[in-house]
Chain A
Amino acid sequence: MKHRLTSTTRVMKFVIGAMIAAVTGFSAPVQASSVALLLGPGIAGNGGSNPIGLPPGLTDIAVKYVTSGGSELTLSVVPGVLFGKRYVDGGFYTSLGAGILVSASGVGLGAYSSFGYVSGSGSGIHFNAEYTQTIGANGKGWTAPGAGRIGAVWSF
């Protein structure tokens, strides 16, 4: 029991540390703020993804907000609510961070990384595709939900 509490404490320290690092900011290029609506089935830890619902269900949707400083907030049921930092290189980006993970085995904490593509730069509406991988733990052990999604991003 003591060992489990210690492990949980370490995970929480890591998550909080990653969030602080993301907020205080590693060096990242200045970019436009954006809001994205992405659609695609989540991978909840019970095999691959199921087909996207027509119309998309709640687990098929992610909303992302990215500040001009590169801080990124992801709101989704699967893989969860994530906060991190986005590093842009041309049209491609990589995001690193941590948050609350949701999978078939429950709710937990963990880290994530996203790999994505935005079709254009500057203000306007652009195409956005992204895959998010996570790794974390919940009360039943480790978990690694993810999601591959496509949609539109509005940069302003």
Chain B
Amino acid sequence: MSDQAILPRGLGAPLGAGGAGVGGRPRRAPWVAHSILPGFGLSLGITLVYLGAIVVLPLTALALRPWELGLDGVWRALTAPRVAAAFRLSFGLSALAALLNAPLGLLIGWTLTRYSFPGRRIMDALVDLPFALPTAVAGIALTAIYAPTAPLGHFAARFGIKTAFSPLGIFIALVFIGLPFVVRSVQPVLQELDREVEEAATTLGANAFQRAVRVILPTLAPALISGVSLAFARAVGEYGSVIFIAGNMPMRTEIAPLIIVMKLEQYDYAGAAAVGLAMVVIAFGSLLLINGLQLFLARRGRV
């Protein structure tokens, strides 16, 4: 008798894919591709449980919470002028910061991989610092040089530019924390660029600009996009490093995560969840879009 007979119908199929049925012929659900690796059922089971407990469960709780306010209440919570302004600020600045990091991160990755010069390894290690620093430390550090009384902030103020406690300050912090994502995404691809491909382009008459734009950049595009999307996702959720430099003025320099914290402090858990859910939806939507674009680019030439 097959081991599947004692299992509920739904569970039998994926478990059966792991081993051969007693009758000799492997029993497998038709939608499971054949693999010679054993343990598919067990590993998929653990994957599902873990993902469910760690990712899906909290997100479900988040998704359910706001509705105790009613559809109307959620709508009002999200469209309150202060909340809407925070959304615009957070997503807008995050996108701008990620876009600035695209060329600059690419350039830094390029410099660090394509040339060799003294101090290259130290510079390479420096790139990781925004990753490694506790975000609050980054926030204090940034405020320490960009505050109106601090050296850089003072210098900028002489030209009438306000750095800290303005959207520009938030932008600087988001650029800071997003940079490593872009650099670290493009570096491995740059490292594996085939020298001969560039040499071939040169012998065919391409100048340096044509080689960069028509040969190297298309190869890098998927990695670059993935780096930019990571930087964007990180920037949207960034709290620690922004909160000191932002100044947190209502309607002007309040970021969306701060709105959540404020609502929580006022025991408005449903309202906080509503803002949180909206952030998840927007962020997830943009990531889907970016991943789709990346997939499209990566598919070309690699089918």
A and B are interacting partners: no
Binding site for B on A (CB under 8 A): none
Binding site for A on B (CB under 8 A): none
